[in-house]
């Protein structure tokens, strides 16, 4: 079973469009349910309406507050996310790291999600690749920090998404290759084995994300060894997203 996560980011613009997209996405989920577990991370403002109208869609939020204090204007806490019916939440996405998230705040967010019994989708990835392999230590630090206080039984709640920053979004410099994906997935698995043990490390799904399309998706899960994919832009285009889902339903 592969895990496919859609990250709608800050789109679409209207509740009506969100509902249309959610309905198209649930049709994709139904069609591929033998092979795929589909999770859709929608903007906070749509979580409740999408959940009430499309009950079978598995939902996630895209970020969470580090605090549960009510005196936090503009923030959304883990219990509030839980109350919408969402079961997953992205944490440590490079776009929220760029806006100020540090390894320390990501760790706090992870703790809040676990307290609320939500499943963290922990995003990690280097800004650039260097020929000395320093990018490996960036990813290692991100994981060791985020999982620092996470006990063995809680690890099974986690999804880790490797998203090299240089391959994400419309400003991507290039696509990652399946070989680069394999290398990092093996490296992440080894970090988990060292922090926990082999049996525990095995249950964590490690995904690839960054300019995934219907064209390159299959290579990341077959040659690249990813347990699934985290998809941004293409998840907003139902026809392309349906094709993508179909191609990894193998």
* CB-neighbour burial class of residue 202 (10 A; exposed 0-12, middle 13-18, buried 19+): exposed
Closest CB to ligand PGA belongs to which residue?
Answer: 232
The residues that touch ligand PGA, with contacts defined as CB under 6 A, are 7, 163, 168-169, 209-212, 230-233
In the complex, least distance from residue 229 CB atom to ligand PGA, rounded to whole angstroms: 9
* CB-neighbour burial class of residue 197 (10 A; exposed 0-12, middle 13-18, buried 19+): exposed
Q: For 158, which DSSP code?
A: -
Q: Which is nearer to ligand PGA, 125 or 225 (CB)?
A: 125
In the complex, least distance from residue 163 CB atom to ligand PGA, rounded to whole angstroms: 6
In the complex, least distance from residue 198 CB atom to ligand PGA, rounded to whole angstroms: 29
**For residue 222, what are the contacts with CB-CB under 8 A and spacing of at least 6?**
178, 250
Which among 107, 101, 234 has a CA at the least distance from the CA of 168?
234
Residue ranges of alpha helices (H) inside 196-237 are: 198-202, 217-221
Q: Which is nearer to ligand PGA, 154 or 247 (CB)?
A: 247
Which among 85, 140, 76 has a CA at the least distance from the CA of 112?
76
Query: Any idea which residues carry the catalytic annotation?
Result: 93, 163
The interaxial angle of helices 134-146 and 178-195, nearest 10 deg, is 40
In the complex, least distance from residue 131 CB atom to ligand PGA, rounded to whole angstroms: 24
Contact indicator for 86, 60 with CB cutoff of 8 Å: yes
Residue 129 to residues 10, 102, 125, 167, Cα–Cα distance (Å): 28, 20, 10, 11
In the complex, least distance from residue 71 CB atom to ligand PGA, rounded to whole angstroms: 31
Which tokens sit at 232? 């941004």
Q: Which is nearer to ligand PGA, 63 or 201 (CB)?
A: 63
Distance separating alpha carbons of residues 37 and 207, to the nearest angstrom:
12
Q: Which is nearer to ligand PGA, 7 or 66 (CB)?
A: 7
Strand intervals (E) in 135-235: 159-162, 205-209, 228-231
Q: Which is nearer to ligand PGA, 109 or 233 (CB)?
A: 233
């Amino acid at each position: 079973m592969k895990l496919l996560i859609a990250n709608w980011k800050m789109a679409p613009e209207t509740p009506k469009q969100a509902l249309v997209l959610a309905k198209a996405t649930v049709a994709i989920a139904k069609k591929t349910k033998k092979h795929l577990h589909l999770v859709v991370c929608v903007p906070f403002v749509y979580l409740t309406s999408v959940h009430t109208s499309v009950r079978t869609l598995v939902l996630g939020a895209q970020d969470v507050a580090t605090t549960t204090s009510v005196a936090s204007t503009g923030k959304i806490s883990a219990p509030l996310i839980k109350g919408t019916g969402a079961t997953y939440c992205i944490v440590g996405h490079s776009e929220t790291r760029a806006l100020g998230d540090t390894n320390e705040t990501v760790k706090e967010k992870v703790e809040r999600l676990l307290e609320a019994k939500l499943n963290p989708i922990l995003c990690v990835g280097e800004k650039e690749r260097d020929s000395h392999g320093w990018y490996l230590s960036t990813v290692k630090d991100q994981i060791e920090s985020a999982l620092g206080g996470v006990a063995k039984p809680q690890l099974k709640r986690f999804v880790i998404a490797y998203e090299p920053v240089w391959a994400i979004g419309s400003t991507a410099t290039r696509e990652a290759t399946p070989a680069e994906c394999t290398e990092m997935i093996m490296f992440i698995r080894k970090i988990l084995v060292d922090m926990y043990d082999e049996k525990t490390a095995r249950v964590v799904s490690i995904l690839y994300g960054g300019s995934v399309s219907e064209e390159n998706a299959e290579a990341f899960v077959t040659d690249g060894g990813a347990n699934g994919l985290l998809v941004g832009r293409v998840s907003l285009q139902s026809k392309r997203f349906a094709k993508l889902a179909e191609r990894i339903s193998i």
